[in-house]
């Protein structure tokens, strides 16, 4: 069944974006709306959401486990997505012989299953890159990262060592990368491969040819770096190959106009304006298969978020605000915690807002939210809050509170990768090496 792509959505109604809901979309799917018409499964996406400084145990951990847990104060912003999330409490982070790097060890353990041996560095590729290695074939970008606080260094997606993948530091930068030059609009009817791209492929080929010479006389660490350079060249080649293919789009989505320049810094009002735009752009990128891995951070681990008028700011508050003797927690800190959960909800909202087949982009994703501390005041890491979202195209059960049982945090990473279709028997290292995923969550 061939339908003219002009029927695909591109509508504005007096300047406002209008999405034309067309039943025809289903004819690109098989009868159940669960796969592409040619039998290929719908892609599953993997996303991460990083926020610094954790949450307040007293206010976020539900007392009961299982499906009927009570919605706690700090989980409340996520309530609209209750059926689509899984909450993990009392997960353990085993440091073994490594120090507890403040504002780092927890994040490193969550993202790699390994207690980091160096401050600010991951011992291996982070989980999103490990998954991207498996699922990103044919997409334009292997992964895309964005930082709502405006600093390209606030990226917790890494190739290992000090090599974090830079994050787009503003909505406009993110838009330009995704939908600026080089973007083949799959919603346009008259799609044609760009001959320029083919020429650029020859250029990249020529660059790659010099690999042997470039690697000469290098010591092992420099060889690894040079190797990474050539891997990056290769990824650019793959990106161009993807640009030469006619894109397949199932989701109901419209490419928006470019966002304006915005101030992106640690002031909370600005982060609140920037996050939904970045989330939306990321969601559309997933829907149009520009990438299958999208990473969003709203702060650095030692979150410098502040509310104008509060001279302490978030991080300082975690250390300087006294514990209220009646409440039993730090009130201002807990308010900041809540704000970060609201931002997470914003991200989920944008993913859930794009219908695709029988579900939404969120249903066809996993979103892995992680942080650096379980109790920022004392830099504790045990009990690091982990809240994941999305059903991974039906491969992950959702709606549960998995109450702690001393499991290492790496069990979540293993479980998610299995749901993503990555074949691996174990994940993590040393005391956090695990072979047992949460089978109760795997379909």
Binding residues for other proteins restricted to 374-413, rule: CB under 8 A: 377-380
Q: Contacting other proteins (CB under 8 A), which of 9, 29, 159, 241?
A: 159
Among 108, 150, 390, 408, binds other proteins (CB under 8 A): 150
Contacting other proteins (CB under 8 A), which of 45, 92, 142, 364? 142
Q: How far is the CB of 316 from other proteins (least distance, A)?
A: 6
Options 23, 39, 260, 309; binder of other proteins; rule CB under 8 A: 309
Tell which one of 14, 311, 423, 439 touches other proteins (CB under 8 A). 311
Nearest residue to 158 (alpha-carbon basis) of 193, 128, 190, 187 = 128
27-86 residues in contact with other proteins (CB under 8 A) are none
Look at residue 425 and give its three-state secondary structure: coil
Where does 231-329 show beta strands of DSSP type E? 293-297
153 lines the binding site for other proteins (CB under 8 A): yes
- Exactly one of 173, 250, 354, 388 binds other proteins (CB under 8 A); which one? 173
For other proteins, the binding residues in 175-234 under the rule CB under 8 A are 177, 181, 199-200, 202-204, 206-207, 209-210, 213-214, 216-222, 224-229, 231-233
**Contact between 236 and other proteins per CB under 8 A:** yes
The count of residues in the chain is 443
Rg (CA), the chain: 22
Residue 366 to residue 354: CA distance in whole angstroms: 15
Query: Could you write out the DSSP letters of every residue in 112-144?
Result: HSS--SSTT-BSS--HHHHHHHHH-TTSSBS-E
**Cβ pair 167, 297 in contact under 8 A:** yes
- Is 305 in contact with 266 (CB distance < 8 Å)? yes
Beta bridge partners of 387: 87, 369
Ramachandran angles phi, psi of 355, nearest 5°: -75, 145
Stretch 86-125 residues interacting with other proteins (CB under 8 A): 100-102, 118-121, 123-125
Residue matched to tokens 């956090």: 432
Nearer to other proteins among residue 73 and residue 265 (C-beta)? 265
Is the CB of 163 or the CB of 431 nearer to other proteins?
A: 163
Instruction: Write down the number of H helices and E strands in the chain.
Output: 11, 11
Q: Which is nearer to other proteins, 267 or 284 (CB)?
A: 267
CB of 198 to other proteins, least distance (A): 10
CB of 21 to other proteins, least distance (A): 34
Q: Using the minimum distance from each CB to other proteins, give the nearer residue, 159 or 353.
A: 159
Residue number, 22 or 199, with CB nearest to other proteins: 199
Contact track, other proteins, 237-276, x by CB under 8 A? --x-------------------------xxx---------
How many residues lie near other proteins (CB under 8 A)? 80
Instruction: Answer whether 27's CB lies under 8 Å from 1's CB.
Output: yes
Q: CA torsion, points 128, 375, 436, 367, in degrees to nearest 10?
A: -30
Q: Which stretch binds other proteins (CB under 8 A): 12-20, 25-33, 244-252, 305-313?
A: 305-313
Sole binder of other proteins in the list 33, 62, 138, 161 (CB under 8 A) = 161
166 binds other proteins (CB under 8 A): yes
Which DSSP letter does residue 5 get? G
Q: Is 312 in the site for other proteins (CB under 8 A)?
A: yes
The binder of other proteins chosen from 151, 289, 356, 372 (CB under 8 A): 151
Footprint (CB under 8 A) of other proteins, residues 315-334: 316, 319-323
Instruction: Identify the sign of the CA torsion 338, 283, 50, 363.
Output: positive
Q: Measuring CA to CA, which residue among 322, 178, 223, 341 is closest to residue 272?
A: 341
383 to 58, 60, 107, 118, 353: CA distances (angstroms): 12, 11, 12, 22, 31
The smaller minimum CB distance to other proteins, of residues 236 and 262, is found at 236
């Amino acid at each position: 069944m061939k339908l003219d792509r002009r029927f695909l959505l591109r509508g504005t109604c007096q300047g406002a974006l209008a999405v034309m809901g067309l039943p025809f979309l289903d004819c690109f799917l098989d009868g159940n709306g669960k796969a592409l018409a040619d039998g290929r499964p719908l892609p599953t996406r993997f996303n991460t959401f990083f926020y610094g400084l954790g949450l307040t145990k007293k206010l976020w951990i539900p007392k009961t486990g299982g499906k009927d847990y009570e919605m706690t104060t700090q989980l409340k912003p996520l309530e609209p997505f209750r059926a689509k999330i899984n909450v993990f409490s009392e997960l353990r982070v085993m440091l073994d012989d490594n120090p507890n790097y403040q504002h780092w060890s927890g994040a490193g353990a969550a993202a790699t299953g390994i207690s980091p041996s160096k401050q600010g560095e991951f011992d291996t590729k982070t989980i999103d890159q490990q998954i991207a290695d498996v699922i990103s074939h044919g997409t334009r970008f292997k992964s895309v990262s964005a930082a709502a606080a405006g600093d390209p260094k606030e990226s917790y997606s890494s190739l290992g060592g000090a090599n974090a993948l830079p994050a787009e530091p503003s909505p406009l930068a993110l838009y330009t990368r995704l939908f600026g030059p080089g973007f083949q609009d799959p919603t346009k009817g008259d799609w044609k491969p760009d001959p320029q791209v083919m020429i650029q492929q020859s250029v990249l080929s020529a660059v790659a040819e010099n690999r042997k010479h470039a690697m000469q006389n290098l010591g092992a660490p420099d060889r690894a770096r040079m190797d990474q350079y050539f891997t990056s060249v290769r990824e650019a080649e793959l990106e161009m190959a993807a640009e030469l293919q006619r894109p397949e789009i199932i989701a109901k989505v419209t490419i928006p106009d470019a966002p304006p320049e915005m101030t992106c810094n640690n002031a909370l009002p600005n982060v609140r304006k920037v996050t939904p735009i970045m989330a939306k752009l990321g969601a559309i990128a997933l829907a149009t298969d520009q990438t299958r891995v999208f990473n969003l951070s709203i702060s650095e681990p030692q979150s410098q978020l502040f509310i104008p008028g509060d001279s302490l700011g978030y991080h300082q508050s975690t250390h300087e605000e006294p514990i209220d003797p009646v409440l039993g927690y730090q009130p201002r800190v807990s308010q900041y915690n809540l704000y970060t959960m609201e931002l997470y909800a914003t991200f989920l909202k944008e993913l859930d807002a794009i219908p695709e087949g029988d579900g939404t982009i969120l249903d066809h994703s996993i979103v892995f939210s992680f942080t650096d501390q379980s109790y920022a005041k004392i830099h504790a890491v045990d009990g690091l809050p982990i809240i994941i979202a999305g059903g991974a195209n039906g491969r992950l059960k959702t709606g549960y509170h998995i109450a702690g049982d001393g499991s290492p945090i790496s069990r979540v990473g293993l479980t998610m990768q299995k749901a993503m279709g990555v074949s691996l028997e174990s994940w993590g290292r040393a005391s956090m090496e695990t072979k047992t995923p949460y089978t109760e969550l795997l379909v």
